[in-house]
A and B are shown apart, each in its own frame.
Chain A
């Protein structure tokens, strides 16, 4: 992960001062074209979320809005119930992040700082979670949640999301916990701390950077998840953003502005997190892939 910045200098130095050649122009042309293709849907979403049908459907298809129609946003929030879906997604995300963090930090502590037979096997067992598809759990979870009357509740999403985020959480925590010197554990032990004391007073306070990485990764996973959300929580009161937005589309077949506003509301938190933490997010995705 750290290699990205280390070797950057070398690459820069090597190409600096080269002349402009036709092949270089072509490369830049393709790079910029692809960047525009990546940006266009988001740009288009932002602009048409502020337009009325007349502009979207002909007068001004891809330009900036002539009239900035903020009422699309109030309509998406009030009539489209985006405020409710947003709150639901937020509650589910926060609860999932908390459970994932606590469970994975505790398990990682047991598997890396405490000495016992089989701790490596246990770690491999948890790493299976990186490859198991969520399809495996759909029917059994649906049946069990139905029997326990937990369909259409926050629990119906928080528990599965936490479980599927666990492998990644443990993977990230293992990396961070390995950087904490063992001397600290011993010093705390000599001061009379038990395993819980060492965990609570030494390890947890030093795990703050891991909290951010695990938190972001888990947030992105559950904020965007569709399959569980659409099957387990179909009642209006518990719909998360992906399901709510999907429903809105049917409701506003012929009026695109409010849909654009709804899509923007669902996307802005992710984009904000990305703008401020792009490097950390990219690193967490790389870490997950290299191990899995």
Chain B
């Protein structure tokens, strides 16, 4: 039965729905995005081929603000790696040790990941509201009137204020991955360490953390590529404002596309984002591989 033409046709038929969706929605659009990125095109007139001019303009033009947006995204990636991930790891290590209420803590910490980013964004908008928001109300109640701010409206602090909910929402996600990793450490390894007189801290430092390195690598890659791609919360909280203070590449892409009808330039940003995500994934993989040898 295996060699017949009918068998091959059947294989193809089984693959057909998935292949069609995958090629039509993911693969072909990548090629099309690259093609558009080489055009000067407003979506209506005939596109004009301009080579890599969009890419040059993206990095040199002061009015596009791409380098600024990219800097913001990289800053988010940095905060995510040095604040969010270590905190998630700390939570994972403490929970995985088997404390009372372990499941409850785990489920509560993971909950924000599942709630729609629009809902989270709307709630934080209200928390940050300068007049009635919980944050300023609490500060006033504590007599810290001078600490009150127009959190998302002040150019100097809007970026930091917009980062807080993003970092907050995904702590639980990284914690869950790391927790699963810590739980996967073979008990023999732990016991061997304990027999050698390791303290909890030493166990974590020399046995658990090296063991879960593959998961830490995944977390770092997700944190960095997720920061580069970040859109939802920034879009809801500030949409890149005030005056571009919180602009990230995705919000910039959307406003170029749908406010200024620059389809070519929007596609250029999309292509840059894909390239940057792959670039950082490769670099992070390389860094972790090198660490292993040392």
Q: Tell me how far the C-beta of A48 lies from the nearest C-beta in chain B, rounded to whole angstroms.
A: 8
Most chain B beta carbons < 10 A, residue from A28, A61, A103, A160 = A103
Question: A270 near B116 (CB under 8 angstroms)?
Answer: yes
Please give me the residue from chain B that is nearest to A122 by CB atom: B15
Residue from B18, B185, B225, B253 within 8 A of A103 (CB atoms): B18
Please give me the residue from chain A that is nearest to B258 by CB atom: A231
Knowing A41-B127, A226-B232 are in contact, say whether A114-B21 is a contact too (CB < 8 A).
no
Which residues of B have CB within 8 Å of A266?
Answer: 116, 118-119
Question: B118 near A116 (CB under 8 angstroms)?
Answer: no
From DSSP, what is the main secondary structure of chain B's interface residues? helix
Question: B30 near A106 (CB under 8 angstroms)?
Answer: no
Q: Tell me how far the C-beta of A203 lies from the nearest C-beta in chain B, rounded to whole angstroms.
A: 11
From DSSP, what is the main secondary structure of chain A's interface residues? helix
How far apart sit A34 and B169, CA to CA, in the bound complex (Å)?
12
Knowing A132-B26, A266-B119 are in contact, say whether A106-B15 is a contact too (CB < 8 A).
yes
Listed stretches A6-14, A70-78, A175-183, A207-215; interface member: A6-14
Which residues of A have CB within 8 Å of B30?
Answer: 132, 136-137
Question: A164 near B11 (CB under 8 angstroms)?
Answer: no
Knowing A7-B183, A107-B15, A227-B232 are in contact, say whether A138-B270 is a contact too (CB < 8 A).
yes
Question: A231 near B180 (CB under 8 angstroms)?
Answer: no
Question: B8 near A116 (CB under 8 angstroms)?
Answer: yes
How far apart sit A204 and B140, CA to CA, in the bound complex (Å)?
61
Does chain A have a CB within 8 A of B81?
no
B-facing residues in A157-179 (Cβ within 8 Å): 159-160, 162-164, 166, 170
Which residues of A have CB within 8 Å of B117?
Answer: 224, 226, 242
Which residues of B have CB within 8 Å of A126?
Answer: 18, 22
Question: B19 near A107 (CB under 8 angstroms)?
Answer: yes
Knowing A57-B132, A135-B274, A163-B21 are in contact, say whether A226-B15 is a contact too (CB < 8 A).
no
Question: A135 near B270 (CB under 8 angstroms)?
Answer: yes
Does chain A have a CB within 8 A of B82?
no
Question: B111 near A42 (CB under 8 angstroms)?
Answer: yes
Which A residues are within 8 Å of any B CB, using their own CB?
A: 1, 3-4, 7-8, 10-15, 27-28, 31, 34-35, 37-39, 41-42, 44-45, 48, 56-58, 61-62, 99, 102-104, 106-107, 109-111, 114-116, 122, 125-126, 128-129, 131-133, 135-143, 159-160, 162-164, 166, 170, 189, 194-196, 199, 220, 223-224, 226-227, 230-231, 241-243, 245-246, 249, 256, 259, 263, 266-267, 270-271, 274, 278, 281-282, 285-286, 289-290, 292
Which B residues are within 8 Å of any A CB, using their own CB?
A: 1-2, 7-8, 10-11, 14-15, 17-19, 21-22, 24-26, 28-30, 32-33, 36, 43, 91, 94-99, 102, 104-120, 122-127, 131-132, 134, 137, 168, 171-173, 176-177, 179-180, 183-185, 187, 190, 215, 218-219, 222, 225, 229, 231-232, 235-236, 250, 253-254, 257-258, 263, 266-267, 269-270, 273-274, 277-278, 281
